[in-house]
Each structure stands twice: as structure tokens, then as C-alpha cells.
Structure 1
Amino acid sequence: MLYRKMPKNGDELSILGFGAMRLPLKEDMTIDEPRAMKQVRCAIDNGVNYVDTAWPYHMGKSEPFLGRALADGYREKVKLATKLPIWIVKSREDMDKFLNAQLERLNTDHIDYYLIHGLNGKSWIQMKELGVTEFLDTAKADGRIINAGFSFHGNGKDFAPIVDGYDWDFCQIQYNYMDERNQAGTEGLEYAASKGLGIIIMEPLRGGNLTNPVPPEIEEIWNTAKIKRSPAEWALCWIWNHPEVTVVLSGMNEESHIEENLRIADEGKPNTLTESELQLVGKAERKYREIMKAGCTGCRYCMPCPAAVDIPTCLEVYNNLHMFKKEMESKMMYTMRLAGIVSADEAHFASQCVKCGECLDRCPQHLPIPDLLEEVVKDLEGDDLGLRVEMVKEMFFRT
């Protein structure tokens, strides 16, 4: 296992972190606790020392599970991360309430890396108005949290103001070779690093979509490489090639995945991919774009939409559905990202489109956006959308 230093505190963190959002499940969809415990402890025994969870993961069961999994001396071997569930925070007092409950659920007296969960531009303003910066200062001073950070799921333009809005120790962003221009992107990665923040990466494999299944056109590209790597190895090594990255989180729930990721993490050094290898990854990224249903680059020139449709996110999930053929997963992701539940915002569904045509004049790719949004509605909304919205509310608002 290789380790990288957190810039502000010098912590030596494993470049591979264990994400506890996708633990193995039993037939009734509850955590397969004996198996999950073996997986977590195996990863730790092999050098992983950063473990990440959050209030809503596994319908609120991930944190209590980790409280048990990290018993028997394992808590002392890791840096533990969890997150403030901002969508159910209505007051300054709620922040203490949830943090104290998380300490109890995790069976610990402190959180090593505490994040404000899923910030975007609007929710950051709301949290500041509720007193989140004073909360973080107080919780750090009394020892309940050691390092303060945030995870980000907003537009790229909102990232730098959040970075500059508090004396953060670290941040967590979605980043992979398909997301260089999405959300925080490469620009955000480099900006956060320039401000001295440690950077935790989530969704390095886009929820596993970059590895399973792999389209034949992409397989052909990987097969031309001089040094043969698995699709997961290409994706992870590409991220670790960035020296700004501290830890890459992986939601490992198969023993074979853990074994493979541990092996890859032995070689994840920065600035080691050759120019030809970087060009190969770029070729794979472009091929994925070619086989997309909609040629959206995520530039967001079409935004804002007068009807509040989040056009780039609608098209991103639509493309993922048709590239990776995971219908239920895509529908749930569409609901979580666009219902406005997690971000404490209004809904941004494709069905809100009123065909005003403003986006048509702005799109550099000249995409027929209103027509594409009709296809999004057909494939990702449907009669069960209301049920999915209620499921997401239950997932995120269960206390």
C-alpha cells in the first residue's frame, strides 16, 4: 500500500480508501454483516487506513455497522470519515444533534475527517446562514471532529467560492477520466490543491460503470496498450497519476474487487503514466463520448434553464443508462440527483421542460435539447417516478 500526506496536518493516508456506501447485501437488501465485516477488516489489515461513510448510507445502517466493524482495535488503525446530512439540518442546534448521534452510532469519541455532505452553491449559502462555520470551529475546538471538509456535487462555478469560504482541511469530489469537465473537474481539483486542501476522490469508476460491463469498442482500445491493465487499473492509475489527489475511495463489496484494488494501490504513484498511456485513456474517454446517445460535454452553456431543468445532469444520466445498461440504478440516480431532495432545492426533472428553445441557441454542440429531454422523460421518469421520490426521501430523511 502506498500513502500520501494530507497537506495541512501531515497525516499519512492510504491512497486507497474504503467507501462504505455499497457494502455487500443479503437477499432482503440489508447489509450482509459477517461478510462486510471481513471485507472491511481485510482491507485494513492490508494497509487501508481511511474509511468513509455517511448518515444515509444503507438506509442509515452504514454508520452503526462500522461502529461494530471497527471494534477489537480496528478503530485505532484508521482515520474515520462521515458527513453532516445537510438536507435534514434546519438549525444550528441540529448540527450538534446529528454529530453527537453519529459519534454514538460509530462508537467513537471523535470523527477524524468530518464533511459537510453534498454542498452546492445554494446549500452552502443556506448552511452558512444557519451557522455551519461556527459549528465546525466549535466541534474542532472540543475535539469531536479533528479535520473539517466538504463533499461537492454542484456546478463547477460554485466550487471555488466554497473552497474560499472557510479554512477547510480537505474536500471530496467526484473525479475520473470521464469527469474532467463535470462538477468540480480538473479545474476544481487543481484549485483546491493550490489552496492547500487534501483531496479525496469519490466515484473513481463512476459507480463501477467504467469496469462492468465494458463496451467492446473500449476493450479494443485497452487491448492496444503495451502494458496490459484491467479497466479498473486504467481508471485508478489515471487518478493516482495526479499528484494533487490524496485518497481515492472505492465502494468495494466483492472480495475479488478488494484484492484487485489493493494490488493496484501498490503501484499508484503520481506522474508515472507515460504520454502514450495518457493519450490512450483520452482515446477511451472520446470513444465513450462517441457511443453516447446525446453528445453533451457537460459545458453547461445551456444553463440556467428558465424552467429549472438541470439539462446537463439529465443528459449525463441518460447517457449512462444507454452506455452501461443499468436501468434501475440509472433511474434511482436520476431521482436522487434531480428531485432536489439531497440539495434542499427545487426539482430539476426533464419533464419540466416547456420547449422555450433558449438552450438551443446556447449549446455549442447544437444538440436538439428539447427533443432529447423528451427521451429522458420516456426512459428515466415514467409512472414510478413518484414512488422513487418517496424512496429517496425515506433513505435520506430517516433519522
Structure 2
Amino acid sequence: MLTRKNQKNGEELSILGFGCMRFPTKTGSIDEPRAIAMIRDSIEKGVNYFDTAYIYHAGRSESLLGQALSGGYRERVRIATKLPPFMVRKIEDARKIFEKQLSRLKTDYIDYYLLHMLTDKPSFDRLAGLGVLKWLEELKEKGTVKNIGFSFHGGKADFESILKAYPWDFCQIQYNYMDENNQATRDGLRLAASMGIPVIVMEPLRGGKLVTHLPQEVKKAFNDYDKDRSPAEWAFRWIWNHPEVNVVLSGMSDEAQVADNIRMASDAVPNSLSKEELAVFENVKKVMHEKTKIPCTACGYCLPCPAGVDIPACFSHYNDKYLTKDRSVRIRYFQSLGALAAKPAYASRCMNCGKCESHCPQSIAIRSQLKVVSREMEGILYRPIVGIARKFMRIK
């Protein structure tokens, strides 16, 4: 496992970080024995950075990580977790959340603490006005928080404004070969590095889309150059090629992913991709940008929907229609979104409330896009036919 030095504090951080947002599940809950075994196995093989959050897995992620790190593992790793700004109306809210996080994680300090999912400068200003930064500085003086940072899901200008507004210990951005010019952008990455601020990268695979939703043209471009290198490996190596990146987070959900990612992280050094390999990426990006309709990463921040719509799944099937040209995509849409289930989750159930849009890191106009999905994936006969079928099958 390769490491890169945190330029602020000198710590050697594994270039692969374990993202605790997509643990394996069983019957709707975290498969705890498997997840704990995966975490401990990754530590034994060199992973020392674990990223979780108060809201991941409906609050269970932090507790699971706390369990996994008992028995001497805690001292071998760095824990990163996050304060959810939308739950903080006064400083007392932040204090209560933080105390609960320490309890869940079974620890008395947090190595890397982030303001979660800042989207613009006003969101930072609001927290600063509540005294959150002053409170975090007090925790840092006591050693209860070691490093203060933020995760970001907005535009380039706001990222740069937030970066310059406070002496951050680190930051976390979405970055991959499809988002080189989105959100913080490559310029933002380089600015952070020039300011001596370590950068943690999230969404390296765009929620798996850069593996599972690739057009045939893209698969061919990768395979023509190296048939033994997977799309995931191409994506990770592209990010690790950037010397400005300290850690790349991967939300690993099975043992094979852990093993493969650790293998890749054993030799991915900066500036190692050839001109020919970089040219492959340029070709791939051109194809992907032409075919991807909705830039959803399936992060799930838009959920739960009051009307029960599975927003990420709706967008995923819609994108598949154009990315993969799979003729069965409408059948899968019908099946997986529960047209005949007790609680259907298809796009046309949207009530247009807009609650989802305020939480979307990608700033997607979700309501209008759901109308597009409904029109193209369902059509005017979808709901009447589903209604008849549900009545025939006596589904309420």
C-alpha cells in the first residue's frame, strides 16, 4: 500500500481510503460480520484512512466502524467523519451530534472532522456565524479534533471562496475523469495544493457509474489499449496520477473490491500515465459526455422522497437507455422500481415538492428531470396499465 504525506501535519496516509457509505447489506441492513471483516482485512493490508458520516447508512455507519475498530485497530487508523450542516440550527445541535459521534465510534477523538457537503459560500458563512468554527477550534486545542476540513459539492467559484475563507487542515472534493471540469475542478484541486491544503477525493467512480454504465465504445477504447485493466482501475489510476491528491476514497461493498483496490494502490504513483494512456481518457470522456443525460452519482442525499420515488434508480435507468442502448432497460425500470410492489418508486409519483433538490450535491433540477424520465421511460399508458395490473393482482 502506497502512502502520501499530509503536507500539513506530516502524517503518512494510505492513498486508498475506505469510504463507509456503501457497506455490504443483508435484508436491508449492514451485513455486520462481512463489513467488519472487510475493514479489518484492509487495515492489515495498509489502509489507514476511514471516511464515514453522521447520516451514512441511516446512522449505522459510524457505529459499525466503531465496532470494527475495537480490539486495537483504532490506534492504527485515522477516522474522518462529518457534521451535517442541515441538522445544525444552533451551536448546541453541533455539540450534541458530535458527542453522539464519539459514542458511536467508541473513541474520544476524531482525526479528520468535516463540515459535510458545503455547496456555496453562504452555507459556510451560516455555520461560521453560529460559532461552529470557533467551537471546532476549541476542540482542536483540546485534542478532541485533530484536523478541521470540509467536503464540497458546489461550483468552482464557491469552492475557491470557501478554501480562502479559513485556514483549513484539509478538504474533500468530488473528482474523477468525468468531473475534471465540474464542481471544484482541476483548477480547484491545484489551488488547494498550492495553498498546502491536503485533498481527499470522493466519488472516483461516480457512484459506480464509471464501471457499470459504460457504453460499448468506451469499453472498447479501454480494452484496445489494455484488455487486462478494468474500468475501475483506469478510473483510479487517473486520479492517483495527480500529485495534488492525497487520498482517494472508495466505497467498497465486497471483498473482491477491497482486494482489487489494494492491489492497485500498491504501485499507483503520480505522473505515471503515458501520453497514450491519457489520450485514451480524452476519447472516453468525449463519448461519455455525449451520452450521459443526468449527472447523478447515486449518493442518496435526495432521499427519502416524501412520495417514495427512488430518484437515483430512476435516473440510472434513464441514463442506461442512452449509455448502454440496452433494449430491456424499460422492463428493468418497470421491475426494479416496484410498479407491482406495495410501495412503487417510479418517476411519475413525484409530487413536485422540491425537498430533494436542496440536498443534491450535483445541483440537478430533480423535479424537471423526473418529468423527463416519466415521459420517456413510462409514457402516457404506463400508469393506467400499472393500475389495471395492480387491481388484477389485488395490490393495494
1:331–1:274 CA distance, 2 compared to 1 (3 A): farther
- CA displacement at 1:211 relative to structure 2: 1.1
2:372 equivalent among 357, 375, 382: 375
- CA displacement at 1:348 relative to structure 2: 4.8
**1:189/1:199 contact within 8 Å kept:** yes
The equivalent residue for 2:356 is 339
The equivalent residue for 1:34 is 33
1:159–1:377 CA distance, 2 compared to 1 (3 A): farther
The equivalent residue for 2:198 is 198
- CA displacement at 1:340 relative to structure 2: 4.2
Say yes or no: does 1:10 pair with 2:10.
yes
The equivalent residue for 2:77 is 78
The equivalent residue for 1:63 is 62
- CA displacement at 1:143 relative to structure 2: 1.4
The equivalent residue for 2:139 is 139
Q: 3-state DSSP class of the match of 1:126?
A: helix
Cα distance in 1 for partners of 2:183, 2:231 equals 23
The equivalent residue for 1:388 is none
Q: 3-state DSSP class of the match of 2:186?
A: helix
- CA displacement at 1:379 relative to structure 2: 6.1
Cα distance in 1 for partners of 2:279, 2:249 equals 25
Say yes or no: does 1:54 pair with 2:48.
no
**1:16/1:249 contact within 8 Å kept:** yes
Is the radius of gyration larger for structure 1 or structure 2? 2
- CA displacement at 1:166 relative to structure 2: 0.9
1:81–1:381 CA distance, 2 compared to 1 (3 A): farther
Q: Which amino acid aligns with 2:63?
A: P
The equivalent residue for 1:354 is none
The equivalent residue for 1:267 is 267
**2:318/2:377 contact within 8 Å kept:** no
**1:339/1:347 contact within 8 Å kept:** no
Q: Which amino acid aligns with 2:237?
A: C
Cα distance in 1 for partners of 2:54, 2:101 equals 8
Q: 3-state DSSP class of the match of 2:268?
A: coil
**1:17/1:51 contact within 8 Å kept:** yes
The equivalent residue for 1:117 is 116
1:1-399 alignment, distance < 5 Å: 1-27=1-27, 29-121=28-120, 122-225=122-225, 228-293=228-293, 320=319, 322=321, 323=323, 339-342=356-359, 348-351=365-368, 375-376=372-373, 378=375
- CA displacement at 1:282 relative to structure 2: 1.4
**1:118/1:343 contact within 8 Å kept:** no
Cα distance in 1 for partners of 2:179, 2:223 equals 23
Percent of pairs with identical residues: 47
Q: Which amino acid aligns with 1:250?
A: S
Residues 354-389 of structure 1: CA deviation (Å, up to 9, x unaligned): xxxxxxxxxxxxxxxxxx88525646999xxxxxxx
Structure 1 segments unaligned to the other structure (5+ residues)? 297-312, 352-371, 383-399
- CA displacement at 1:214 relative to structure 2: 3.2
Cα distance in 1 for partners of 2:266, 2:49 equals 16
1:317–1:227 CA distance, 2 compared to 1 (3 A): closer
- CA displacement at 1:319 relative to structure 2: 7.1
1:292–1:343 CA distance, 2 compared to 1 (3 A): closer
Residues 144-201 of structure 1: CA deviation (Å, up to 9, x unaligned): 1000000001122100110011110100000000001111111111111111111000
Q: Which amino acid aligns with 2:277?
A: E
Q: Which amino acid aligns with 1:77?
A: R
Cα distance in 1 for partners of 2:49, 2:148 equals 15
Cα distance in 2 for partners of 1:49, 1:256 equals 19
- CA displacement at 1:125 relative to structure 2: 2.1
Residues 47-79 of structure 1: CA deviation (Å, up to 9, x unaligned): 000001000100000001111110011101100
Structure scoring higher RCO (CA < 8 A, sep ≥ 6) equals: 1
If the length of structure 2 is used for normalisation, what is the TM-score? 0.79
**1:155/1:183 contact within 8 Å kept:** yes
Cα distance in 2 for partners of 1:89, 1:321 equals 37
1:26–1:373 CA distance, 2 compared to 1 (3 A): closer
Structure 2 segments unaligned to the other structure (5+ residues)? 296-311, 338-344, 380-396
The equivalent residue for 2:393 is none
Q: Which amino acid aligns with 1:109?
A: D
Q: CA RMSD in A?
A: 3.1
Matched pairs, number? 340
The equivalent residue for 2:387 is none
Q: 3-state DSSP class of the match of 1:68?
A: helix
**1:338/1:349 contact within 8 Å kept:** no
Cα distance in 2 for partners of 1:289, 1:331 equals 25
Q: Which amino acid aligns with 1:57?
A: Y
If the length of structure 1 is used for normalisation, what is the TM-score? 0.78
**1:199/1:245 contact within 8 Å kept:** yes
Cα distance in 2 for partners of 1:161, 1:195 equals 13
